[in-house]
Amino acid sequence: MSMTSDGHVEAGSGLRPASRADVAGLPVEVAPRLLGGVLEVTVDGETVAVRLSEVEAYHGRGTGPVPDPGSHARMGPTARNATMWGEPGHLYVYLSHGIHSCVNVVCGPEGTAGGILLRAGEIVRGRDVAVRRRTAARVSVPAGAASHASSPVGAVSPPSSPAGAASRASSPAGAVYPPSSPAGAASRAFALPHRDLARGPGRLSQAVGLRHPVHDGIDAITSEPRAGAVARLLLPDGLLPQTVSGPRVGVAGVAGTAAFPWRFWIDGDPTVSPFRWGRGAREADIRDT
């Protein structure tokens, strides 16, 4: 991926700056077009760019013909979801489980509500910055929240990598070791494989440096600064042929079943987060088949 002289991801090479029109459609229509695109965020002069490999569409009340019971906007406007009802192209940054900030691209006509959760991607610029942010987040997570911090929201270990795999080797392939850690001698415990830097929505937000509530509503089209941050969304010229879809990760009930195949990812991409059923979703899916 080519860079400009000042180190930013360069438009061209199959990427172009996103426009309002690009994200004005229904979330389920816009979501797959984000795959292969790049979200570039500069916070306090440090830039991290992530190539998107996995996203999920969420509709709001009145967004399209099918109500979305899994959406924050399903019951209408609230103080929490106000950004979802605004101008497309802004980023809805919310807090999940009281711990993780998560980033969504607002889409659809203004006043209807809709968003696309950025679930995972590959860090293509600013890897050292992303490692430092992720490491700091792992060290400072509150006691009792370690299970949320060690994996992305709603993620479980993939079949090929059981829970014990983390201790299988002290130096995982492709791992990045931060130069220092508040844990001192335990710095090796914070090895971060490249694929895991933004593998899951909480991790992605940590890596790029966007935080709830200060960055909620930041504009990724005009790149207008907010709370020391600037965001820019670049999109590919067309839909990637490797795009596949399925149920959303960790969403409860029918909203997490094949009735809502609104999770889109790049097939075979190692940064895609593992799937797990939400509460009651497996049972609801079986009843519907």
* pTM, 2 dp: 0.81
The Cα 266–Cα 53 span in angstroms is 5
How is the chain split into domains, by residue range?
Answer: 1-289
Give the DSSP letter string of 49-72. Answer: EEEEEEEEEEE-TTSSSS--TTST
- Please give the mean pLDDT across all residues of the chain: 84
The Cα 251–Cα 142 span in angstroms is 24
- How confident is the model at residue 172, as a pLDDT? 40
- How confident is the model at residue 173, as a pLDDT? 42
- The arrangement of secondary structure in 1-289, i.e. its CATH architecture, is Roll (3.10)
- How confident is the model at residue 9, as a pLDDT? 77
- How confident is the model at residue 286, as a pLDDT? 79
pLDDT mean over 226-246: 98
Give per-residue pLDDT as tens, 2-43: 767 566 777 677 999 999 999 999 999 999 999 999 999 999
- How confident is the model at residue 109, as a pLDDT? 85
- How confident is the model at residue 111, as a pLDDT? 85
Contacts of residue 238, Cβ cutoff 8 Å, sequence gap at least 6 = none
Give per-residue pLDDT as tens, 146-204: 334 333 333 333 333 333 333 333 334 445 444 444 444 344 446 789 999 999 999 99
* Residue burial 96-124, b: 16+ Cβ < 10 Å; e: rest: beeebbbbbbbbbeeebbbbbbbbbbbbb
Which comes out higher in pLDDT, residue 110 or 30?
30
- How confident is the model at residue 186, as a pLDDT? 41
Could you tell me the pLDDT band of residue 85, with boundaries at 50, 70 and 90?
very high
Could you tell me the pLDDT band of residue 140, with boundaries at 50, 70 and 90?
low
- How confident is the model at residue 62, as a pLDDT? 60
- How confident is the model at residue 74, as a pLDDT? 87
Q: What percent of the chain has pLDDT over 90?
A: 67
- How confident is the model at residue 51, as a pLDDT? 99
- How confident is the model at residue 184, as a pLDDT? 42
Residue 278 clears pLDDT 60, i.e. is over it: yes
- How confident is the model at residue 180, as a pLDDT? 44
**Which of 198, 266, 232, 224 lies closest to 16 in space, CA to CA?**
232
pLDDT mean over 225-248: 98
- How confident is the model at residue 230, as a pLDDT? 99
The Cα 274–Cα 262 span in angstroms is 15
Residue 61 clears pLDDT 60, i.e. is over it: yes
